[in-house]
Structure 1
Amino acid sequence: MLIFANNKIEYDMDNRMKDYLPPMDTEKLNALFEIENAFKAGKLSAAEAQQQIKERVGKVSAYHVAYIEQTMTEESSDECIREDVHSVIDMLGDAIDNSLPNLPVDHPIMHYLKENEEMKRLLLAVEDLVQYPMIKNQWLELYEKISQYPLHYKRKQNQLYPVLEQKGFTRPTTTMWTFDDMVRDEIREAERLLREDNEDAFIKQQERVLLYARDLMQKEEFILYPTSLALISAEEFEDMKSGDQEIGFAFFEVEHTAAEVKPQAAPAAHNDFANDLQALLAKYGYADKGNNILDVATGKLTLEQVNLIYKHLPIDISFVDENELVCFYSDTDHRIFPRSKNVIGREVMNCHPRKSAHIVREVIDKLRSGEQDKAEFWINKPGLFIYIIYVAVRDKEGNFRGVLEMMQDCTHIRALEGSQTLLTWSNGDAPAAAEAPTQVETEQTEAAETQAVTEITPQTRLKDLLAQYPTLKSRLPELDSKFKMLNTPLGRLMIGKVDIQAMSDRTGMPLEQLIEGIKKLIR
């Protein structure tokens, strides 16, 4: 909170962020703020600013800059405008200490840095290729790799930002998220122009990709990561690893090793009677071996059973309470959008990019007021239909208690025709007859249902490819991580329905690139 007194800037030191940082000198922070404002206003040159910092401030840490940004800089609606990080670097000169400690290779910050190093290498390849006549296949191969990089942002937004919010550092969520999406959109635009063979516009687009991506990486490495290491404990980073693993990494895989669990001492002998009694009660339905039975609205379930039900629901569920805090999400194998446990306890407005925040605000306000009871959205693309509904949760007195979000991939449902009144399994198999078909009959049936693939075209069925090349299914995720869903129940169902064109549409992977990638895997 800014306080202006006697033409001098003071600020509220009760900000949560300072509780997690090393002690900071208020006067020096105030001086640094004044120098930065004078430099940005053109009243000081870089050399003059550096000299004043040396005389009035001394050594500056990255978290000092972050703290000033958080507590002394007013937010505005123009935060999406690119801030020139190079000018801040020029102003600070060698006064800034944003060095990183020696970190283990499996530290979450090391993964962010490793992704950045690979992205920098790819951007150098972009700079090299733009000098020569365009050869589309070279660019397709390069952008196949570059397109993985936005996963880096997805992890930041769902893992790093929530923890920083808990420490009072909310600017990454409110500002850097916008920058993240800008770079992602520039990459997507370049991919679109490449697919449409718009050569001139595509080559020109590379300037924006280079500029925006490099600028954001510099912001990350100059301020975000050093400040994160100052604010976040080693234990919290360790806890972050499992969520990072769920969302995934750009350019490489990370094998997550669970933290070592220390063996517990054997229970004392005097507990034997209690254990025997508990087992006896469980046998007759009075207890469940330590997992108490819950008297839910229309039945009795153990906590384990409740969790299993949520995990096997065919839809994804999230719940936000009346205080607009995320309380729960269902952790299903078929989850449509990535989530991690760091979202729990987070303000729901911070779970969305700024450009869509006004829609979230309107939905919550109208559900809370009772003006509306539900809000529906859907995503309709070739080969994909996602249905999303937000429902107001009210108690029996009609009081607003939160919002329930339900999301489902309805692509298969929308494709159903006619009626099915006989049992058919999700993989298309009919129930076993009185006499099972012989191996010869089975092979003849399968051969009749599949067709030999002599050339891969947009109309080639995935089912036919997998019948001819069985190992292809396990290798398709090498082309695009979205193909991992082929191992889910829904994915196994989709195998019999989709062709190469639908696979391209579903993943956003250029058709020619997908066909060439499949041919390479087959070879």
Structure 2
Amino acid sequence: MEHIMKGYLPPMDPEKLKALFEIENAFKAGQLSADEARLQIKQRVGKVSAYHVAYIEQTMTEESSDECIREDVHAIINMLGDQIDNTLPNLPANHPIMHYLKENEEMKRLLLAVEDLVQYPMIKNQWLELYDKISQYPLHYKRKQNQLYPVLERKGFTRPTTTMWTFDDMVRDEIREAERLLREDQEDAFIKQQERVVLYTRDLMEKEEFILYPTSMALISEEEFEDMKSGDQEIGFAFFEVEHNTSETKTESKPNQHDNFANDLQTLLAKYGYSAGGDEKLEVTTGKLTLEQINLIYKHLPIDISFVDENELVCFYSDTDHRIFPRSKNVIGREVMNCHPRKSAHIVREVIDKLRSGEQDKAEFWINKPGLFIYIYYVAVRDKDGKFRGVLEMMQDCTHIRALQGSQTLLTWSTGETAETTKQPDEAANQLYENAETGDDEATNAPITDITPQTRLKELLKQYPILKDKLADINPKFKMLNTPLGKLMMGKADVQTMSERSGMPLNKLIEELKKLVK
């Protein structure tokens, strides 16, 4: 039986694939030198495309969790020599693959800076500045895992999910370890760690550019790449921003059926002959709701929801502004086991199996860090006959809830003003300080009379709560302040830091902030 992947690739000669497989194995076993292997490839195979190598990897080699880490891509390149063609077509600048390549080019530049700095006595501020940029790069992996890998899976190319994901996370963890050592002033260990960061990051980039991206171009259609852009935008990019101009898409005249839950549900109902217009109400268990109302309810829930059906396929996630972990529509229809890195797959497997069998009805996890508490709850979904129908995952940032003390029986607004009294401006401002979100031991209660580069973000938000919802209007990067990570950063960030992190000129940022607070 032919592998599904073959149906999406240009015609391939089975005998030549077999010959390439034999030559590659003999070379890896040391039975052929690189020169001998190249000669045999030229005589028995001819020109080789990147997708030939990927197809052999997918269909003819035994899968191993660390194969991507062990694979010596330099040796394979050397073996193939001038017989390999892994060139990419001339792609527009806004193509998803071009964004991956652009991120790699910037990361290569940063790694050269690492190699330069390690030669000199350590100056911590120089390294902090450099790692402030390097730490953005793991977004590159997050986009690959949630956007590119799911589409490749549908084409039968599952090796990136099952093997490269492990390497992605390993490189990410090496960068995080370097950051930790830098923060804790472990100078010798930090300098030694740079060798691992440089080696593994470059190795993975080479695997991406040699096999992954050329094979993606062979397997994925332009329409699918176009459809990928909105999810890429949702997750974000390392080192730069991308403006997603929907007017340029080829599907401009055709509405996107996956834009939101309401559209998806309306399409499904129409398929089975049910009309569900914007004002028509649907019978739900305890009431009637329009599709718009259903969608709005999901969007405004204080928790994130995901649903996996009895076939272990991801069917739905709630699209909230406060989403804790990134999601994109490419996850819909994906096997849930492929949505997790291999090192945690056994836990996912155990949760699903025990919920399915009825041995357990729920599973709880939580992440407890300074200034952050995330609660994760899985529950078995069963119908009225007790038949297993799937798993519902609920996730909530409970940091604020855990910090509550005593009782609050009077209505108090976010400004600090209660419903029973009307305060004078000065009194209301004092109440605002008393009830505003805290978390920075160094914060003061002094009113801000002017905005300077040293003005603390935490204190700005205390005095002007409206800024929290308006900052994204100044710069889209400030959306992340509503995430748990952003809340951790608020306590330390000042206007100067905001300017540096967003790439927005300092004077322009101060000017826009002053406009908002007025």
TM-score by length of 2: 0.83
Partner residue of 1:484? Answer: 479
Partner residue of 2:445? Answer: 450
Measure the CA separation in 1 of the matches of 2:111 and 2:466: 33
Q: Which amino acid aligns with 1:391?
A: V
SS in 2 for 1:401: strand
Segment of structure 1 superposing worse, 304-313 or 121-130: 304-313
Give yes or no for contact 2:355–2:362 (8 Å, CA) kept in 1.
yes
Partner residue of 1:509? Answer: none
Give yes or no for contact 2:417–2:428 (8 Å, CA) kept in 1.
no
Measure the CA separation in 1 of the matches of 2:252 and 2:501: 46
Measure the CA separation in 1 of the matches of 2:54 and 2:134: 29
1:107 Cα deviation (Å)?
Answer: 0.3
Partner residue of 2:408? Answer: 420
Which of 133, 136, 144 is equivalent to 1:145?
133
Q: Which runs of 5+ in 2 are unaligned?
A: 255-274, 435-443, 450-454, 511-518
1:483 Cα deviation (Å)?
Answer: 5.5
Change (3 A) 1:44 1:80: closer
SS in 2 for 1:301: strand
Report 1:335-350 matches (<5 A).
335-350=323-338
The answer to whether 1:331 aligns with 2:319 is yes
1:322 Cα deviation (Å)?
Answer: 0.5
Partner residue of 1:363? Answer: 351
Segment of structure 1 superposing worse, 468-477 or 212-221: 468-477
Which of 293, 301, 306 is equivalent to 1:318?
306
Which of 194, 210, 218 is equivalent to 1:230?
218
The answer to whether 1:156 aligns with 2:144 is yes
Partner residue of 1:58? Answer: 46
Measure the CA separation in 1 of the matches of 2:319 and 2:372: 21
Give yes or no for contact 1:60–1:95 (8 Å, CA) kept in 2.
yes
Partner residue of 1:191? Answer: 179
Report 1:67-466 matches (<5 A).
67-79=55-67, 81-259=69-247, 291-431=279-419, 433=421, 436-439=422-425, 442=428, 450-451=445-446, 462-466=457-461
1:498 Cα deviation (Å)?
Answer: 6.8
SS in 2 for 1:243: helix
1:385 Cα deviation (Å)?
Answer: 0.1
1:425 Cα deviation (Å)?
Answer: 2.0
Q: Which amino acid aligns with 1:252?
A: F
The answer to whether 1:39 aligns with 2:24 is no
Measure the CA separation in 1 of the matches of 2:277 and 2:97: 41
Measure the CA separation in 2 of the matches of 1:189 and 1:482: 25
Measure the CA separation in 2 of the matches of 1:395 and 1:472: 45
Change (3 A) 1:145 1:77: closer
Residue-by-residue CA offset, 1:448-502 (whole Å, 9 max, x unaligned):
9932689xxxxx975425568999979999xx998634358x999x79x9733xx
1:431 Cα deviation (Å)?
Answer: 3.0
1:81 Cα deviation (Å)?
Answer: 3.9
1:303 Cα deviation (Å)?
Answer: 1.5
Which of 36, 55, 62 is equivalent to 1:48?
36
SS in 2 for 1:429: coil
Measure the CA separation in 2 of the matches of 1:513 and 1:194: 19
Change (3 A) 1:396 1:203: same
The answer to whether 1:20 aligns with 2:37 is no
Measure the CA separation in 2 of the matches of 1:381 and 1:37: 47
Question: How many residues get paired?
Answer: 469
1:76 Cα deviation (Å)?
Answer: 2.6
TM-score by length of 1: 0.82
1:292 Cα deviation (Å)?
Answer: 3.3
Measure the CA separation in 2 of the matches of 1:262 and 1:154: 27
Residue-by-residue CA offset, 1:164-184 (whole Å, 9 max, x unaligned):
000000000000000100100
Give yes or no for contact 1:141–1:513 (8 Å, CA) kept in 2.
no
Give yes or no for contact 1:472–1:521 (8 Å, CA) kept in 2.
no
Measure the CA separation in 1 of the matches of 2:191 and 2:485: 37
The answer to whether 1:499 aligns with 2:488 is no
Q: Which amino acid aligns with 2:146?
A: N
Give yes or no for contact 1:475–1:521 (8 Å, CA) kept in 2.
no
1:83 Cα deviation (Å)?
Answer: 1.3
Residue-by-residue CA offset, 1:9-40 (whole Å, 9 max, x unaligned):
xxx4x211000000000000000000000000
Residue-by-residue CA offset, 1:192-227 (whole Å, 9 max, x unaligned):
111111111111111000000000000000000000
Residue-by-residue CA offset, 1:397-452 (whole Å, 9 max, x unaligned):
1111110000000000000011111111244332374xx54556656766899326
Give yes or no for contact 1:325–1:345 (8 Å, CA) kept in 2.
yes
Q: Which amino acid aligns with 2:42?
A: K
Measure the CA separation in 2 of the matches of 1:111 and 1:517: 20
Measure the CA separation in 2 of the matches of 1:90 and 1:36: 11
Residue-by-residue CA offset, 1:301-330 (whole Å, 9 max, x unaligned):
111111111111100000000000000000
Partner residue of 1:7? Answer: none
Q: CA RMSD in A?
A: 3.4
Change (3 A) 1:334 1:469: closer
Change (3 A) 1:32 1:475: farther
Partner residue of 1:281? Answer: none
Change (3 A) 1:28 1:475: farther
Measure the CA separation in 1 of the matches of 2:322 and 2:349: 28
Measure the CA separation in 1 of the matches of 2:433 and 2:159: 59
1:294 Cα deviation (Å)?
Answer: 1.2
Measure the CA separation in 2 of the matches of 1:158 and 1:184: 15
SS in 2 for 1:368: helix
Larger radius of gyration: 1
1:258 Cα deviation (Å)?
Answer: 1.1
Give yes or no for contact 1:140–1:513 (8 Å, CA) kept in 2.
no
Change (3 A) 1:204 1:150: same
Change (3 A) 1:146 1:298: same
Give yes or no for contact 2:66–2:163 (8 Å, CA) kept in 1.
no
1:127 Cα deviation (Å)?
Answer: 0.5
Measure the CA separation in 2 of the matches of 1:154 and 1:327: 20
